[in-house]
Amino acid sequence: MIKIDSLHKQFGDFQAVRGVSLSVPKGAFLVLVGPSGCGKSTMLRMLAGLEAPTSGTITFGDTTVSDGSRGWVIEPSKRDAGLVFQSYALWPHMTVAGNIDWPLKVAGMDRSARQQRVEEVLNLLSIAQLADRYPNEISGGQQQRVAIARMIAPKPGILLFDEPLSNLDAKLRVEMRTELLRVHRATGATSVYVTHDQVEAMTMASHVAVMNGGRIEQFGSPKELVTDPQTAFVATFVGTPPANLIPVSNGTYWDKWSDGELEGRSGSAMFRPEELELAATPSARTLTLDFAEASPMAGRFMVTGVRDGLRLTAIVDLLPDLTVGDEVHFQLPQKPSGFFTNEGGRV
């Protein structure tokens, strides 16, 4: 449904998107995730037609909607795509029903058909009781539902979400994730969702593109990203909590664990938090750090230590009796789960 080929976007001397290529099947829920400034919002704006690529192409179905080399884009209203902004962008002088009706009116739909469609989406989003209210008379969560209802009213084939939950409180964000997935399934559309929150990415997506520095670090299913990260960045960005990386060099842990296969190289060893244990005393297989914090997690405890720029997290059954700054000994398993080079690639 969506194909992106060698997409670049440059603002002056700044390269916001660098050679991105991917294909998304019809009905997929793609999440673009990454830290601030990684290029994910610029990607979404190019998909929406609000930005033209510097080079590369974007294709929806059989139609090329942007071609940077030829310098043209199909305008947003003709892309069969809907967009929900982070700020919702509702018309303040229109009622909830009026906001939803507006894109249908612009599309030339007659009044009877518009009224029927408005009622359909009001019921789908469970906001029929708000039809005659104005945006300033409803909560942020309700405004979000109105923005989604307005987007899906014309029945676009592609739904675009630009960090739509970032303005909501934690509890409401969890509830709205469920609602968004329900709407996605009900419409049968292909969705592209931008977020910096990897928890949202892992819980909502059928496909995830992890972005960093304008490039895609890895593209795959949530399970693939967690179980088989292909770069050091993905390993430390994805997961709750993410994997631990310990710098190693030739002649230390690296040779011991690699049986000499990687002689002369250096990089980082990956340990998952559930693989680490806490020891009462130091030993040859422990690293001693300063206790930083502990928090409950699904009946277990997440314990974190820091020292000299190294940060390790272990998931343990019992919460140790420690105060911030106490020494904590992390016991490592016999072998790590993976290695990464200094350049960040998986060995």
- Please give the mean pLDDT across all residues of the chain: 91
Tens of pLDDT along 308-323?
A: 999 999 999 998 889 9
Report pLDDT digits (tens) over 26-51. Answer: 999 999 999 999 999 999 999 999 99
Q: For 158-202, how does the pLDDT look when each residue is reduced to its tens digit (9 = 90+)?
A: 999 998 888 888 888 888 898 889 989 999 999 999 998 888 899
Q: Which overall architecture, per CATH, does domain 2-235 show?
A: 3-Layer(aba) Sandwich (3.40)
Supply the pLDDT for residue 253: 60
Helix or strand (DSSP H, E) at 150:
helix 140-152
Residues with Cβ within 8 Å of 343's Cβ and at least 6 positions away in sequence, in order, are none
CA–CA distance, 85 with 87 (Å, rounded to integer)? 5
204-250 pLDDT, tens digit per residue, is 999 999 999 999 999 999 999 999 999 999 999 998 899 999 988 76
Q: What is the DSSP letter of 346?
A: B
pLDDT for the residue 179: 87
Q: What pLDDT is recorded for position 251? A: 55
Measured CA to CA, the distance from residue 340 to residue 347 in angstroms comes to: 5
3-state secondary structure of 100: helix
If pLDDT is split at 50, 70 and 90, which confidence band does 263 have?
low
Domain ranges of the chain: 2-235, 238-341
What is the pLDDT at residue 260? 59
How large is the average pLDDT for residues 244-272? Answer: 73
Question: Does pLDDT of 259 surpass 60?
Answer: no
CA distance 14 to 315: 40
DSSP one-letter code for 198: H
- Cα separation, 341 vs 247, whole angstroms: 10
Residue 166 confidence (pLDDT):
83
Token pair 């909607």 is at which residue? 65
The pTM of this model reads: 0.88
The CATH-assigned architecture of domain 238-341 is Beta Barrel (2.40)
Which residue's entry shows tokens 């009213």?
153
pLDDT range class, residue 74, cuts 50, 70, 90: very high
Give the pLDDT confidence of 143-163 residue by residue, as tens digits: 989 999 999 999 999 999 998
Q: Give the pLDDT confidence score for residue 335 in this predicted structure.
A: 85
Residue 55 has pLDDT above 70, yes or no: yes
What pLDDT band is residue 334 in, cutting at 50, 70 and 90? confident
User: Of the ranges 194-203, 257-266, 274-283, 326-335, which one carries the lowest mean pLDDT score?
Assistant: 257-266
pLDDT at res. 85? 84
